[in-house]
């Protein structure tokens, strides 16, 4: 990133939506507060909201200000001053909306121009075509695509073709916000800036890997989206597979935009396909029913308050998914990678657990294998569990003790939200932490047969009460080989 921020126009389509109000605008405010935005940089929201600049600034003042630290009113006012709003309906013949965008951007063709599409994937192609037709796509333009990129491989390809007809691949930034999380980036540093792990980072020493993204939240108000997404599309195809790639990839030659992504694609292409009858053996899907979350009774998925009533799709959609994956290459042959994600789990916890093998010959009773836990959230940190002797005379008693690195205790600086990092990377034109076309398509290629099998079966997801660690099938999935889920924080 250059020292002096360059002026930019950031156009957020879907600019009054949930993502924009909850994540993008707070992240941009933090960047502004940290001096990372040039004075001339503007944030232009586009939506159907019928708002003008003053209305939008009022809305942000009312809805965002409470969620960010406004310690200095002048900075907040400066941030509000960057905001513009253009009311537009891209599904119709709304030429006045486009004319307003054109007028606002006129004379600023040399600036970095970022189109951030915080909107459903079916709008990506039409938006790009219209922006192009309006003459707004300059050589310095970039487009950011929010996940999910399609519903399957075919629709992802279609979107990639449509967007690719207007923008070069180097201008397309497919965002997966997990890649902007500090601990995720630290995983690369841990693996490739320390010598001791690499010799044991393979099937000779590692028994299995668990990747969990557990959330306590349910899906109130999200039925319209979630019924057609489900945990597999919403979390596994992108976030969990990206984490798997970072754990399993070979050391890249350089820390640059293509080397890391090249290695990630190789991992995705080495995933052993799970097809047909194997789907039932290696995958589990669940849906939460009424239960207790954080001491409070909560409804099941089908009874979540929502404007849209439940349909057939609501009964079939999974709010929990677990998969036993395998990376078929020399380093990882035979090492299961267990992936798991769910809504309304007992605790919020995203972590990667690398479980090492037993010592080859144990001379102490009670020794348990080492474990490396990378905690993404909450309380980001890295912990290596080692065996130690409990103090005392007499029999040697062993106890696993942690060697811990807590980011909050070690680094005093504020941990930025993933979106801050990623938005600044887009403005700097750095795509390293964004997904390349081949990466997204390779992930769908692996997910597709699982979806096909699930959708062809006339079976409902296994129920699990809200506030519990997923359905019984998930425990059987790991239990079959005598393993258990790492339940710390999920007990
Ligand atoms: C989003 C999903 O991509 O990630 C949400 O659409 C999920 O369903 C969210 O809640 C989780 O993100 P985080 O950063 O809170 O783990």
482-491 pLDDT, tens digit each = 999 998 654 3
Using CA atoms, how far apart are residues 429 and 111, in angstroms rounded to an integer?
12
Ligand 1 atom at minimum distance from 418 CA: 14
Reported as a pLDDT band with limits 50, 70 and 90, residue 322 is very high
At residue 134, does pLDDT exceed 90?
A: yes
- Residues of each annotated binding site for substrate: 177, 181, 215, 234, 343
What's residue 96's pLDDT? 87
Q: How far is the CA of 214 from the centre of ligand 1 (A)?
A: 10
Q: How far apart are CA 112 and CA 171, in angstroms?
A: 11
Q: Which residues are annotated as a binding site for NADP(+)?
A: 48, 89-90, 147
Q: Is 236 helix (H, G, I), strand (E, B) or coil?
A: helix
The sign of the CA dihedral 116, 232, 348, 272 is: negative
Atom 2 in ligand 1: residue holding the nearest Cα: 234
Going 428 to 429 to 432 to 434, the CA torsion angle's sign is positive
Is 84 labeled as catalytic in the residue annotation? Answer: no
Residue of 177, 214, 376, 422 with the most ligand 1 atoms within 8 Å of its CB, for mutation: 177
User: Which helix (DSSP H) or strand (DSSP E) does residue 278 occupy?
Assistant: helix 278-282
Mean pLDDT in residue range 136-155: 95
Residue 429's SS3 state is: coil
Q: Write the pLDDT tens digit of every residue in 60-93.
A: 999 999 999 888 999 999 999 999 999 998 877 7
CATH code of residue 379: 3.30.360.10
Q: Which two tokens stand for residue 339?
A: 């992936």
Residue 489 lies in a domain: no
Rounded Cα distance between 43 and 25, Å, is 9
What range defines the domain where residue 87 resides? 8-146
- Set 30, 84, 208, 239: catalytic member: 239
Kindly state whether residues 138 and 185 are assigned to the same domain.
no
Q: How far is the CA of 232 from the centre of ligand 1 (A)?
A: 12
Radius of gyration (Cα) for the chain, nearest Å?
24
Residues 206 and 92 in one domain: no
- The Å distance, Cα 183 to ligand 1 centre, comes to 16
Q: Quick one: which atom of ligand 1 is closest to the CA of 350? A: 16
- Domain with residue 58: its CATH number is 3.40.50.720
Written in H, E and C, the secondary structure of 280-308 is: HHHEEEEEEECEEECCEEECCHHHCCCCC
Q: Are residues 252 and 125 in the same domain?
A: no
Using pLDDT thresholds of 50, 70 and 90, give the confidence band for residue 148: confident
Q: Is residue 227 part of a domain?
A: yes
Phi first, then psi: give them for residue 16, nearest 5 degrees: -110, 5
| HSE toward the beta carbon, residue 413, CA cutoff 13 A | 5
Q: Cα(213) to centroid of ligand 1, in Å?
A: 9
Query: Is 30 a member of any domain?
Result: yes
- In terms of DSSP bridges, do strands 283-289 and 206-214 run parallel, antiparallel, or are they unpaired? unpaired
Are 223 and 314 in contact, with CB atoms under 8 Å apart?
yes
Which residue in this structure is represented by tokens 């940089």? Answer: 41
**pTM for the structure as a whole:** 0.95
Please give the pLDDT value at position 489.
53
Q: Specify whether 86 is located in the same domain as 199.
A: no
Q: Is the same domain home to 140 and 200?
A: no
Atom of ligand 1 nearest to the CA of 226: 8
Q: Which regions of 31-158 does DSSP assign to beta strands (E)? A: 42-47, 83-87, 112-117, 141-145
Residue 52 located in a structural domain: yes
As given in the structure block, the two tokens for residue 90 are 């891209």
User: Where does a domain end: 95, 127, 146?
Assistant: 146
């Amino acid at each position: 990133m250059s020292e002096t921020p360059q002026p930019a126009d950031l156009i957020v389509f879907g600019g009054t939506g949930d993502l924009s109000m909850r994540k993008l605008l707070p992240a941009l405010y933090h960047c502004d507060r940290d001096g990372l935005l040039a004075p001339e940089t503007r944030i232009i929201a586009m939506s159907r909201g019928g708002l003008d600049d003053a209305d939008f600034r009022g809305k942000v003042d009312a809805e965002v200000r409470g969620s960010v630290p406004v310690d200095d009113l002048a900075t907040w006012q400066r941030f509000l001053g960057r905001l513009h709003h253009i009311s537009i309906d891209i599904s119709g013949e709304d030429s006045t909306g486009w004319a307003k965008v054109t007028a606002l951007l006129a004379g600023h063709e040399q600036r970095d121009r970022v189109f951030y599409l915080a909107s459903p994937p079916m709008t990506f192609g039409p938006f790009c075509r219209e922006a192009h037709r309006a003459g707004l796509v300059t050589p310095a333009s970039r487009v950011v695509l929010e996940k999910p990129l399609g519903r399957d491989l075919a629709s992802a390809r279609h979107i990639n073709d449509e967007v690719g007809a207007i923008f070069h691949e180097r201008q397309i930034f497919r965002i997966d916000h997990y890649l902007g999380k500090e601990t995720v980036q630290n995983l690369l540093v841990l693996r490739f800036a320390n010598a001791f792990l690499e010799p044991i980072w393979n099937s000779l020493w590692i028994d299995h890997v668990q990747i969990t993204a557990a959330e306590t939240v349910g899906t109130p108000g999200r039925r319209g989206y979630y019924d057609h997404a489900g945990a597999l599309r919403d979390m596994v195809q992108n976030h969990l597979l990206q984490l798997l790639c970072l754990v399993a990839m070979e050391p890249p030659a350089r820390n640059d935009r293509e080397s890391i992504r090249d290695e990630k694609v190789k991992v995705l292409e080495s995933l052993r396909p799970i097809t047909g009858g194997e789907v039932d053996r290696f995958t589990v899907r669940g849906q939460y029913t009424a239960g207790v979350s954080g001491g409070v009774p909560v409804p099941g998925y089908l009874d979540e308050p929502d404007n849209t009533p439940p349909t057939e799709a609501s009964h079939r959609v999974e709010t929990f998914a677990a998969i036993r994956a395998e990376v078929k290459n020399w380093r990882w042959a035979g090492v299961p990678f267990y992936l798991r994600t769910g809504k309304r789990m007992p605790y919020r916890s995203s972590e990667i657990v690398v479980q090492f093998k037993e010592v080859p010959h144990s001379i102490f009773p009670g020794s348990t294998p080492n474990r490396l836990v990378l905690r993404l959230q909450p309380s980001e940190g890295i912990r290596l569990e080692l065996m130690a002797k409990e103090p005392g005379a007499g029999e040697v008693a062993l106890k696993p003790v942690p060697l811990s690195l807590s980011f909050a205790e070690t680094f005093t600086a504020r941990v930025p939200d993933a979106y801050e990092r990623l938005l600044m990377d887009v403005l700097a034109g750095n795509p390293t932490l964004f997904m390349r076309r081949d990466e997204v398509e390779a992930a769908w290629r692996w997910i597709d047969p699982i979806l096909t099998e699930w959708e062809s079966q006339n079976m409902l997801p296994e129920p699990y009460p809200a506030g519990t660690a997923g359905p019984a099938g998930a425990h059987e999935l790991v239990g079959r080989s005598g393993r258990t889920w790492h339940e710390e924080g999920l007990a």
